[in-house]
A and B are shown apart, each in its own frame.
Chain A
Amino acid sequence: MSGRKKVYLGVDVGSVSTNFVLLDAGRTASDGVVWKKYLRTNGAPVETLKKGLAAIEQEGKWEIQGAGTTGSGRALAGAMLNADVVKNEITAHAAAALSENPEVATIIEIGGQDSKLIILRDGVVVDFAMNTVCAAGTGSFLDQQAGRLNIPIDRFGALALQSTSPVRIAGRCTVFAESDMIHKQQLGHRTCDIVAGLCASMVRNYLSNLAKGKELKPPIFFQGGVAANVGMQRFFADTLRLPILIPRHFDVMGAIGIAQIARETLESQGKQSGFVGLDVLHSEFVNEGYVCQLCPNQCEIVEIWRDGVFLASWGSRCGRQGQYNASG
């Protein structure tokens, strides 16, 4: 065991991707990322999590000192790993950005199914916004349109930069944006102009949805999967007339942040990690949802079982932990 490097594990289970980061226990976070993995969640968080852990095991050179989970699947992943911290992605993204640059004042984060704006002053989150009931302005939409235009998503941004006159696309709603885009194609606009128009409309949408009434001060970080898109980078910089900084590990910032919070929490409390170990990937997990009938509240409960042993449950209003499924 002695030859293995001590690391902290951060897992960000998002709607589109699940990201894994191993953070060197001895170094500061910004340059401490020793290993990272970006996997598509594909609607199967349990399987994806196992796949990521298998990759860590295969490397065989890490000793995990502690673990944290974030993202929309944080509770599930947290229960599976018995993570030391389970925290929301806003806090995690802010922590990672601050470790890269303690001065950061604005974070633009665009992920698969939501986008966030985080405002910081003096290293503290003072305000945030998340897109509400709409998917316009998220990575999934770009992904879908790239698929429809038959352009690989990683070439999408570069193509947008080739445009000399981006077309104006109605970006208020993804459905209308799509029909508007098709209309512009039928009119014979060049693909690069349409792609550029799409990026521009996403930027407009983001700023009018999330940034209304907020002061975006530099330094501005742009992170999340969509930050890879150079077209989006350019349009943000042009619209805000401010430089946009892309952190080195922009795609896994949530995972970095949560690994770091796990480390700080364990170190400050002097506690031993509860992390279950990589063996967990050979276990079989079963989850089951049902409506609890014990009282009129009708809570929707989700239970998770590891190798036939009850692990955790969510959704009960009364805080009960345990299995209450009559059939189960």
Chain B
Amino acid sequence: MRVTFPHLGNAYIAIEALLQGLGHEPVTPPLSTKRTIEWGSRYSPEDICLPFKTILGNMLEGIELGADSVYMLGGWGPCRLGYYAEIQRIILLDLGKQVEFVTLEVPRGNWGLARERLRSIFGSARIRHLFRGCQLAWAKLSVLEEVENLSLQARPREKERGSVSRFLEGQLQKIRLAQSVKTLRELKEETEAGLQDLMDRVSSHAVLRVGIVGEIYTVVEPFVNLRLEERLGSLGVEAVRTISLKEWIEDHVFKNALGLYNQNSLLRSAAGYLHSFVGGHGLESVARSAELSGCLDGIIHIYPLACMPEIMAHGILPQVSADKQIPILSLVVDEHAGETGFQTRLEAFVDLLQRRIYQCQDGRKYI
């Protein structure tokens, strides 16, 4: 099958390897652009959140490239994501797209349907290939996260503005083409060394560290968050991810399917603020903000307009901010988000953090 799938940051690199292992031909949609959102919004309900619209746009662009199947994540929980796949399936059907729509979710009782889906997913896979594909995909996902995290540290310290992003782009394409776990390991070392060379180690001015919490899709997908991490990097700030895609898959797919996943540690961190799962990453946003406040200079909370779980978190975070003495900036994005206002808020927030540090250091006032 020629399979297309929605984008989520650089995850496409791992997804391609996985699909190849399953014996399918991946049809990767072009990276999300303005066209993706415009196309997706045209056929989406107006008041649905931005991830839905972007994902639908990815699907349409993938189908345009000749895909005959669409893979999409499902889920069940208070977040609306659970029914996105179904609505998108119906929208594509209404648009007359002749595609097979496969929703990947942990089955809840309906084993007949699950069997049917599994049959189409594993259609032509050979066990040997399948194992190798899974192994390669997982290795790619791990390497991706590691090099991305390294680049977050390197970006605010780069000698020439933009050099880290440019270098990373090239390395990502190499990772995409890698065919063995060994090559990936070498690529990781190569990237690490390359980033070291781009960094300015002479001027060791203190770099601010800002944690990013919020709705996972918005946090991970750079087109949707207006390249938040890169913007922070060029303002001389190290962005610290609190959401790992790899961890999310481990928790919510593997452990959850086996009944091993629980949220006790999150609930402990969020104690006093939030005592239950509110869907999506709402609980994570509160828990991570509370637990990381000690080792960060500030926190940015980002979510798409109308995201219910994060609206809950938004209401709670000011209290966390006051108790833990850490500035928190909440940012809301949708397809009408203006870059100027976004940048202004970021710059003002960074100024604010900088001044706090200066004031702590020598008691003087800087404006």
Contacts and interface: CB of A to CB of B under 8 A. Distances in A.
A125 interface: yes
Contacts of A132: 332
A188 to B, nearest CB: 37
Given A98-B367, A114-B341, A297-B31, A88 B348 contact: yes
Nearest to A99: B367
A289 to B, nearest CB: 13
Contact of A89 (B35, B334, B344): B344
> Main SS of the interface on chain B?
helix
A130 interface: yes
A289 B355 CA distance: 36
Contact of B352 (A72, A126, A261): A126
Given A89-B344, A132-B332, A133-B305, A123 B165 contact: no
Contact of B344 (A90, A122, A126, A295): A90
A126 B30 CA distance: 41
A126 B355 CA distance: 9
Interface stretch (A162-170, A277-285, A317-325): A317-325
A130 B365 contact: no
A94 interface: yes
A79 to B, nearest CB: 15
Contacts of B359: 122, 124
A319 B234 contact: yes
A22 to B, nearest CB: 19
B contact residues, range: 35 or more
B34 interface: yes
A107 B9 CA distance: 39
Contacts, number: 86
* Interface footprint category on A: 35 or more
Interface in B47-77: none
Nearest to A71: B344
Contacts of A264: 367
B165 A128 contact: no
B355 A124 contact: yes
A77 to B, nearest CB: 13
Nearest to B347: A88
Contact of B30 (A99, A114, A130, A296): A296
A72 B351 contact: no
A130 B162 contact: no
A91 interface: yes
Contacts of B341: 72, 114, 130
B175 to A, nearest CB: 16
Interface in B139-165: 160-163, 165
A36 interface: no
Nearest to A123: B365
Contact of B162 (A98, A122, A300, A319): A319
A124 B327 contact: no
Contacts of A320: 162
B255 interface: no
A128 B348 CA distance: 8
Contact of B227 (A88, A296, A317): A317
Nearest to A320: B162
A259 interface: no
A101 interface: no
Interface in B313-345: 318, 327, 332, 334, 336-337, 340-341, 343-345
Contact of B347 (A87, A133, A296, A317): A87
Contacts of A99: 367
Nearest to A72: B340
A298 B34 contact: yes
B230 interface: yes
A213 interface: yes
Contacts of A72: 340-341, 344
A320 B305 CA distance: 32
B257 to A, nearest CB: 35
B120 interface: no
B176 interface: no
Given A72-B344, A91-B367, 17 more contacts: A87-B351, A91-B347, A91-B348, A98-B365, A99-B367, A114-B341, A124-B352, A127-B352, A128-B352, A260-B367, A261-B367, A264-B367, A297-B31, A298-B33, A317-B227, A319-B166, A319-B234
Interface of A: 72, 87-91, 94-95, 98-99, 114, 122-128, 130, 132-133, 213-214, 260-261, 264, 295-298, 300, 316-320
6 contacts: A123-B367, A124-B365, A125-B352, A213-B318, A317-B230, A319-B166
